[in-house]
Structures are given as C-alpha cells and as structure tokens.
C-alpha cells in the first residue's frame, strides 16, 4: 500500500528575524509499500492512527545553511520541543518521550510512545502516521554569533518566539490534526462512557 506525504508549517515573524517549523508528515495506508504520493491540501476524512511509536526527525536551517545534526540535538529548538512534549505528555496521550538522539543516518530524532494506541473497528478505513520530519528554519538580519537559535542558550526574543512556535505546532499540527492520537477524541475513544 502507498505512503502519503504532506507538509504543514507554523511561523513567527519579528523585527530582524523569522522563525518557522515546517513538518513533513508520512502516512501509511495499509502496509508500507514502495509507492509514495505527495498530497496537497487537506487530509481526507479518514481516521489517522499510530501502529507503534511516532518518530519525530529534527533538522535545522539557519540563514539558508543546514545545521549539522549534532548542533540540532544540542540546540534550543530541539530541547524546547522535547521539554514541551515531556511536560505535556499525559495531555497528549504520550506515555514515553525518548531522549534526543542522533541515528546512524546522522538525523536527530525523538520517539513518542502512545499511552494506549487506538485500533479501528474492522471494516473502517484508516491511515497510520509513521514519522513527522520537523525542520526549524531561522532567518535573521543579524550576523553576530549571539543572533542564532541553534545554540544551547538563546536570547529572550528568540526564546519567546520559539516557545510560541512549539506550542502552535503541538496544538495545530499534532493535537488538532490527529485527534485520535493526541487530542480529546483519543481520550473519548478509550473511555466507553463517552
């Protein structure tokens, strides 16, 4: 069966810098297969579930240049996303948030384990979310070394924008987009009293 890729983005623009998170979501329909389709527009009205852990792949681009995976792993964007997911794990239906790690392909990743995966009733179509590749994109007019978010500590304007961006991403592109995985429908589907 095919895989479907689609993209989403959230953005924060301020005087002197722009910060965005683009995400490439991979959905498998049925079993994974060699065919891959790029989708545009909204996802069709179909249940989207998890078959196991969700892998978030993290990358960075600063002023048009890729950031090495070791730099992404130790950076404020990756650490703040990880801290947000860890702090809100129970509300998002996540039982375990792995530590940030760099895999054999030199990609920074974090694995999210669902607290109680939901399985559809027989006969209902479903797609399965397997990965979300997140790219933090940072552009600034300032070329000073302290004008970079891909460091462990960032200045207040960058940190505040980064926190808002991570919250938007989790709210709009995880909980709202995948209600049976992260949102309130997940809790309702697990509770027979609803």
pLDDT, tens digit, 9 for 90 and up, residues 89-100: 988 989 999 999
pLDDT at 183 over 60: yes
**pTM for this model (two decimals):** 0.86
Residues 131-169 pLDDT 10s: 999 999 998 877 655 557 788 888 778 889 999 999 999
Residues 12-66 pLDDT 10s: 988 888 999 999 999 888 665 567 777 776 776 788 888 889 999 999 999 899 9
Predicted local distance difference test score (pLDDT) of residue 193: 47
Predicted local distance difference test score (pLDDT) of residue 68: 92
* CA torsion, ordered 68, 106, 81, 165, to nearest 10 deg: 50
Predicted local distance difference test score (pLDDT) of residue 188: 43
Predicted local distance difference test score (pLDDT) of residue 107: 94
3-184 has CATH 2.30.30 classification: no
pLDDT category, 1, cuts 50, 70, 90?
A: low
Predicted local distance difference test score (pLDDT) of residue 154: 81
DSSP secondary structure of the chain: --EEEEEEEEEEEETTEEEEEEEEEEEEESS--S-EEE--SSPPS-EEE-SSPEEEEEEEEETTEEPPHHHHHTSHHHHHHHHHHHHTHHHHTEEEEPPPEE-TTS-EEEEEEESS---PPTT--EEEEEEEEEEEEEEES--STTS-SSSSS--HHHHHHHHHHHHHHHIIIIITT-TTTTSHHHHHHH-TT-
């Amino acid at each position: 069966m095919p895989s479907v890729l689609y993209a989403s983005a959230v953005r924060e623009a301020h005087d002197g810098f722009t910060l965005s998170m683009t995400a490439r979501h991979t959905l498998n329909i049925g079993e994974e297969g060699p065919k891959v389709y790029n989708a545009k527009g909204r996802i069709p009205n179909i249940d989207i579930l998890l078959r196991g852990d969700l892998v978030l792949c993290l990358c960075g681009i600063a002023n048009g240049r890729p950031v090495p995976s070791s730099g992404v792993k130790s950076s404020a964007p990756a650490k703040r996303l990880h801290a947000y997911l860890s702090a809100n794990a129970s509300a998002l239906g996540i039982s375990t948030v792995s530590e940030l790690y760099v895999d054999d392909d030199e990609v920074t990743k974090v694995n999210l384990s669902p607290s109680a995966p939901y399985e559809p009733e027989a006969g209902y179509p479903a797609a399965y979310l397997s990965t979300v590749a997140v790219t933090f994109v940072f552009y600034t007019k300032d070329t000073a070394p302290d004008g970079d978010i891909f460091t462990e500590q960032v200045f207040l304007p960058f940190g505040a924008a980064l926190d808002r961006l991570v919250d938007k991403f989790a709210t709009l592109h995880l909980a709202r987009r995948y209600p049976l995985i992260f949102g309130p429908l997940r809790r309702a589907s697990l509770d027979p009293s609803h």
